[in-house]
Amino acid sequence: MKENEIKFKLRTNDDKVVEILAEVKDKKLYRMGKPILCNCSGNTQDTATPFIFEDGEVVCPECGRKSESVYSFEDYENSELSNIHLKYFGIDFVTMQELYKLSYTLPYEDWIKVSDLFMKLKPDMVDMGFFEPQYVGWVTSNPEEVEERLDIKPELRVNYIKEKQEQEQEQKQQEVMQLKDNLSSILEVFSIVDTPQIVDGKFELDGEVIDNPINPKNMYGGGEWFVISDDYIWYVRQNAREGDNWNLNNVYVKGSAGAIGKKVEYDRDLADKIRSFKR
């Protein structure tokens, strides 16, 4: 729908209600380039009276006949139709083409612009397992042409969304690589440290607990975390799965067979690196 268009409902002489999409020019209404006329003053283009759009209403200035409702561009902007777009549906395993469906049902005047680009899925196609269960409806393998004909917003188009997702994925991969590098440099500090021996029972650690973001503590007896206290920084690896050697455990973990821990003296830079995992 364009800024100079309105949609309205009008009752005909045979008491039927029709919905009309019209272009507004100098208050007069046009459909497909022709004026929309009221036959109160005649049945030809020369004698009939053109409807006008004034004060939010469609009215015949001759007889006062009015539309039953008016749907403006502002109404359109505030509706789901203004953000209509194509959503990825799946793969046609016969042609190996990507299929897309509309996010919202189109009005008839828009549907006829793109109907030739869609095919309707039938129940037997769904039953064969080619498409998601329970869906019967219209899909297209030509999203770019549909978007052009419907003038879909650039930021809602398939290729724009794909590129944005690829950029986000690339950014995420870079962040994961940076995270792994940071984690590796932290673990290297503990790799050259001996495991403290148990003297009077297992160590009960008190301090700020921060999970290893790649392998956090879990209920199955695995996972790793750090404990930052005023004097020490601990690296702890839970060692409580069935089949683990529990005799190696030197750290007490509530509800668990325990964990293996190593410690280094508190270092502010190391602590800051570990705390960065919380962000």
Alpha-carbon distance of 247 to 250, in angstroms, equals 8
68/140 same-domain check? no
Mean pLDDT of 88-93: 84
97/51 same-domain check? no
More confidently predicted of 61 and 72: 61
Mean pLDDT of 23-43: 90
Indicate the range of 26-40, 66-80, 175-189 predicted with least confidence. Answer: 66-80
Q: How many domains does the chain have?
A: 3
In a domain, 165, yes or no: no
Highest mean pLDDT among 25-29, 91-95, 203-207: 203-207
pTM score above 0.95: no
* pLDDT, position 48: 93
In a domain, 57, yes or no: yes
Mean pLDDT of 31-48: 90
Mean pLDDT over the full length of the chain? 88
220 near 185, Cβ under 8 Å?
Answer: no
* pLDDT, position 1: 64
In a domain, 249, yes or no: yes
* pLDDT, position 17: 79
271/195 same-domain check? yes
Alpha-carbon distance of 226 to 237, in angstroms, equals 9
pLDDT tens sequence across 182-219: 999 999 999 999 998 887 789 999 999 999 999 999 99
* pLDDT, position 136: 66
Please give the C-alpha separations between residue 3 and each of 50, 75, 77, 111, 172, in angstroms, as whole numbers. Answer: 21, 11, 9, 19, 40
Per DSSP, the residues of the chain read --TTEEEEEEE-TTS-EEEEEEEEETTEEEETTEE-EETTS-SSTTTSEEPEEETTEEE-TTT--B-SEEE-HHHHHTSGGGG--EEEEEEETTTTEEEEEESSPPPHHHHHHHGGGEEE--HHHHHTTSS-TT--SEEES-HHHHHHHHT--GGGSHHHHHHHHHHHHHHHHHHHHHHHHHHHHHHHHHHTSPPPPPSSS-B---SEEEE-SSS---TTS--EEEEE-SSEEEEEEE--STTS-GGG--B--TTSS-EEEEEEE--HHHHHHHHGGG-
Domain range holding 235?
Answer: 190-278
Pairing label, strands 28-31, 37-38: unpaired
- pLDDT grade, residue 125 (50/70/90)? low
Last residue in a domain, options 114, 141, 158: 158
62/106 same-domain check? no
In a domain, 178, yes or no: no
In a domain, 226, yes or no: yes
Mean pLDDT of 76-86: 76
In a domain, 113, yes or no: yes
Cα separation of the two ends of the chain: 44
